[in-house]
């Protein structure tokens, strides 16, 4: 046996590995990467399909289910239970026009409708009268059922023949001029109009309450006559010193016109007041 020196021993012996096949390793790595990518893609497709299936199932369930507190379809009324009309009743309008307001003149044209209180105080209220900035002091007033006693000349018979019921008078004065206005009352407007047309003579002046006798004993005075409704109204005016009135005496004319206008307004107001009361009462 020979124990001569031996060379270095190979640790792998006869099984020592060969040089690595780098190309094969690269192919294997690429294959593994492709498998992972397809797994990711496949997983996403499966997840999408699963979500779609869930949504489809929910839609089908909602369409087929008739129970459950969250089922909106089950809470809607069926077509046969829906109301025929969804709106409330509309406003209704009468085809008949409302009646016109009462005519004030209608109430003062007949004693049957003219029922408001009538006196010297209602026709000629207060202690003075102002028209157009002109103030007149009120003197005496009078009311009589003997119509002829409040007149001069033929006017008394004219009033009586047409059915005069009463005469109400009042006197106003200013600056030496005095005018008496008198209202003759009839049952109808036709009687009052006829009395105005037939008027002759005149109203008797009414002195007193600081106004002396005027327009008597043949003195020339200014006289007027008019009618409105069932009332005929007259004026007589002149100077308190007995002077005759001429056309140049415009103060006398203006005073008489103011009193005639005021009397007309008072009569018309009677009609308005009674017409308004009738309208409020629905008559």
Cα 246–chain centre separation: 53
283 residues of the chain, pLDDT tens digit each: 433 444 444 433 444 445 555 455 556 666 666 665 545 544 444 445 444 544 444 444 444 444 444 454 455 556 555 555 555 566 665 566 666 778 999 999 999 999 999 999 999 999 999 999 999 999 999 999 999 999 999 999 999 999 999 999 999 999 999 999 999 999 999 999 999 999 999 999 999 999 999 999 889 999 999 999 999 999 999 999 999 999 999 999 999 999 999 999 999 999 999 999 988 887 6
Task: Specify the pLDDT at position 281.
Answer: 83
Task: Specify the pLDDT at position 264.
Answer: 98
The dihedral formed by the CA atoms of 278, 264, 171 and 143, expressed in degrees to the nearest 10: -40
Distance CA 195, CA 155 (A): 9
Classify strands 231-239 and 222-228 as parallel, antiparallel or unpaired.
Answer: antiparallel
Task: Specify the pLDDT at position 4.
Answer: 40
Task: Specify the pLDDT at position 230.
Answer: 98
φ, ψ of residue 130 in degrees (nearest 5)? -120, 125
Residues pairing with 161 in the sheet = none
Task: Specify the pLDDT at position 6.
Answer: 42
Name which of 256, 234, 252 is nearest 243 in CA terms.
252
């Amino acid at each position: 046996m020979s124990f001569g020196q031996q060379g270095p021993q190979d640790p792998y012996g006869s099984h020592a590995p060969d040089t690595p096949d780098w190309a094969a390793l690269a192919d294997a790595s690429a294959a593994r990467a492709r498998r992972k990518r397809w797994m990711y893609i496949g997983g996403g497709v499966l997840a999408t399909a699963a979500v779609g299936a869930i949504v489809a199932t929910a839609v089908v369930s909602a369409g087929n289910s008739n129970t459950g507190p969250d089922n909106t379809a089950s809470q809607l009324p069926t077509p046969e239970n829906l109301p025929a009309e969804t709106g409330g009743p509309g406003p209704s309008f009468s085809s008949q026009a409302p009646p016109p307001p009462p005519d004030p003149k209608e109430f003062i044209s007949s004693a049957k409708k003219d029922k408001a209180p009538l006196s010297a105080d209602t026709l000629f209220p207060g202690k003075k009268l102002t028209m157009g900035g002109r103030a007149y002091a009120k003197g005496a007033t009078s009311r009589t059922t003997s119509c002829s006693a409040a007149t001069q000349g033929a006017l008394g018979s004219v009033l009586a023949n047409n059915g005069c019921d009463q005469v109400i008078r009042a006197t106003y004065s200013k600056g030496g001029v005095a005018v008496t206005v008198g209202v003759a009352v009839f049952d109808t407007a036709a009687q009052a109009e006829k009395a105005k047309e037939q008027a002759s003579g005149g109203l008797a002046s009414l002195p007193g309450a600081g106004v002396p006798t005027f327009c008597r004993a043949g003195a020339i005075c200014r006289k007027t006559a008019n009618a409105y409704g069932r009332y005929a109204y007259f004026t007589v005016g002149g100077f308190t010193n007995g002077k005759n009135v001429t056309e140049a005496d415009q103060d006398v004319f203006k005073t008489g016109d103011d009193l005639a206008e005021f009397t007309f307004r008072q009569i018309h107001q009677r009609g308005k007041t009674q017409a308004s009361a009738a309208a409020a009462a629905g008559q």
